[in-house]
Each structure stands twice: as structure tokens, then as C-alpha cells.
Amino acid sequence: MTFIHGTGEKRRGRRALVAGSVGNLIEWYEFGVYGYFATIIAARFFTPEGGSEIEGLVKAYASFALAFFFRPVGAALFGRLGDRLGRRPVLVLVITLMTVATTLIGALPTYAQAGALAPWLLTFLRVLQGLSAGGEFGGAVSVMTEFAPPGRRGLYGSWQSFTVALGLLAGAGAAALLATALTEAQLGAWGWRLPFLLTLPLGLGALWLRLRLDETPEFEAARSRAAPPRREVAEAIVLGAGRIMGWAAAGYTFLVVLPSYLQSSLGATFQQALVATVLANLGFAVTILPAGLLSDRLGRRAVMLSGAALVVVLAVPLLNLLQQPGVSTTVKGAAVFGAGAVVGLMAGPGPAMLSEMFPARVRCTGLGLAYALSNAVFSGCAGLIITETIERTGDVDIPAYYAAGACAVSVLALLPGRRSGGAPDTVPERAG
């Protein structure tokens, strides 16, 4: 159902697009910064004097993963509020929580200053971020797709993923700028704090935009409708999570975990790893909006299937290429750019596909949980699983196996006619 008709409604739709996108940009900016500075954070918070660097990195990724496991809790909590009270109040609440938690990370004492308390404080703030991020996706995508003009849900929903790319690029840009402007000692001592502290003015701007946001007419109309049976919603959540698990795993492997992998496993410098990450995120950003628009014409699953299948085929050859010392920097740059572009084929149509699987009465909760569950397992654990498995096996191809395996499951879930436990592709709406 769509409620966009005249010029005024279109203006409200564009305002919703900006307000929904900006919070997501800030969220992924922070998650990107944490990933890019993982080695420094590990040294400052998780590695006592004389401790193992690799063990510290594993602990840093464990804290990273823990925040993701609180995303489903946030999706359930804030999603239910969004389906009962409205999208706007939830979006205001989650951006406030994210801004406060992220800013405080930039002010935390390190292990050298606070001892064993430091990693616990960091982990607590990561949990708060996980809760807010869990509510962010469901509320933002609901607002963006419910205000979308007819035949443009794919394009409008793809802005959610596009701001993921912008956030990761902003984080990578901030990290690269600091790595260039500061010495290694300055970066490790205090420079890493600056990107986290920058969240405060960004978050205040996002809060102002969301306070001016209108409630969606589709939500207002759905208030009188009965909620669908919980079993149907649960089955659709499982199916939705399966469809995007490849996006979650490949996205974090190629876009966030890559810097630490290149440094710890392939001997790259911090600057080289960041350049590779920027190229991957540029490729990701370039394809997202065209993929969303294309899904409005060809269908969501067709576009997402192509992206997932390409990762299955290309993940191992791409990683092997990066491992070859004789390959030119230009070719390696093109390879990581291409890896990001393939992930964009899944990320562009993904939000609209999830939105259309659930009626407005349970949309915030349903799509938020599908996304959060998939990301908790396959994004949040990516760095931890990859780093630990490489350490135990010595196999530097593990990231490729991880991304390709998850995408293979998504291919099966996206095939036409596939069901999960008898789940329909969409949960039917019911009259009140």
C-alpha cells in the first residue's frame, strides 16, 4: 500500500529518506571506526602489559560480536515499540542512545589507566550500541519504504544500505586522515579517540532531523488491523535472515574485517589496509542505488541472487589474488573494488525485500529481527571467527570460505519458490 500522491507527500517522503538515512550513517560510521581501529583498541583495552597481541585482537572482536548479539534484543524491544507507538519516537530514542554510547567510548580510560575495568566499560557501551542499532534498522527502513512513491520501494530502501557505505567510508576516511596526519605513537595514544568524539555533533544533527519527522500514513492506517499469527511472522523472520546472511557475512568480511586481516595475515601496513578498505567500500557504494532501482524493475530476488552467486564463485580467487606478491597494486585495488561492488548487489534490494515480507502492523519488529539475527551471527562474529580460525589452522583463505559459505545458503533461500518451514514469501495482512 502506498500513500504518496502529491507534491507535499513527496516532500515528506524525501524528508523521511534523509531522517531515516542519517542515523544509519552514524551507526555504521562508528561500527566501521571500531573495525578499522581494532588493532589499536585491542592494544589499549584488551592487552595487558606483556600480553599476546593476537589474543587482544580476538578479545576486541569478541566485544564487537557481543554488541551484535544485543541487536536482536534491540530489534525486538524497539521494534515492538515502533509497531505500537509509531516509527518516529523509536527513531528519536535509538539515535540518542547511539550518540551517547559512541561519544563515551572516545572518553574511556584505557587498560593502562583503569586496569581490568577498562574492557568491561568498553563492552558495556558496545552493548548499548547493539541495542540501539537493533532498533535503528527496523524503524528507519519502515519509514523509508512506507513513504516511498509507487514502484520505488527498492530505490528508497537502498538508501539504507547506501548510508552504510557512506558511514563505513566516513569511518575509513577519518582513520586514513588521522593515520596520515599523526604519528603512530600519537594515533595510539589519543588520535583514535577523535572519530568517536565526532559522533556527538553528528548525532545532535540527526536528532534534530528526526524530531521534525512525520509519522507514516501506512502505520496510522495499520493501527486498527489485527496482527498476523506469530508463527507466520517467525517463519518469515527465519526466511528473511537466510536471504540476507550472505550480505551480512560478505559485507563484513570485505568491508570491515579486511584491514585487520591484511595487517595480521598478509603483513600489510595500516595505511595500505585502509586504502584497500576504502576501495572496497567505494565499490560497495557505487552499486547499491542502481541495484535498488533495478530491483524495482526485475524483482528483489533476481538482483540479490546474482550478487550472492558471484561471491560464491569469486571469493576464493579474489583472496588468492591479494595474497600474490607479484600482482600489481592496481590489479589488487580493482579486485577489492569489485568485491565491494558485488556485495552492493545484495545490499541494494535487501531492505525493500525485508520490508515487503511483513505487513505494517509487525513490520518494525519483523524486518528488524530478520536483519539483526543475521547480522548478529554472520557480521558480528566475522572478525572473531576469521581471526581465531586463521590462528588455529594457519589457513589464510578462511575469509573467502566464510563469505562464500554464507552466500551459498542465501542463494538457496532466494531461489523462487523456496520456503522456510512452510513460510510464505510475505506475511498476509489481516483486517481488525
| CATH code of the domain in which 222 resides | 1.20.1250.20
CA distance 432 to 430: 6
432 within domain boundaries: no
In the chain, what are the helix, strand and coil shares in percent, each to the nearest 5? Answer: 80, 0, 20
424 within domain boundaries: no
2 within domain boundaries: no
425 within domain boundaries: no
**Which residue reads 580467487 in cell numbers?**
317
Question: Helix 71-84 to helix 87-105 angle, to the nearest 10 degrees?
Answer: 150
Q: Which domain holds residue 86?
A: 7-414
211 within domain boundaries: yes
**Which residue reads 545458503 in cell numbers?**
409
CA distance 131 to 67: 8
- Considering its fold, how many domains does the chain have in total? 1
pLDDT of the chain, 432 residues: tens digit per residue: 444 445 666 777 788 888 888 888 888 888 778 877 877 888 888 876 655 566 677 777 777 777 778 989 999 999 999 999 999 999 999 999 999 999 999 999 988 888 888 888 988 998 998 899 889 999 999 999 998 888 889 999 999 999 988 887 888 788 878 888 888 888 888 888 999 999 999 999 999 999 988 888 888 888 878 778 889 999 999 999 999 999 999 988 888 777 667 776 777 777 777 788 788 889 999 999 999 999 999 999 999 999 999 999 999 998 888 888 877 878 888 888 999 999 999 999 999 999 999 998 999 999 999 999 998 888 777 777 887 888 888 888 898 999 999 999 999 999 876 443 333 455 655 555
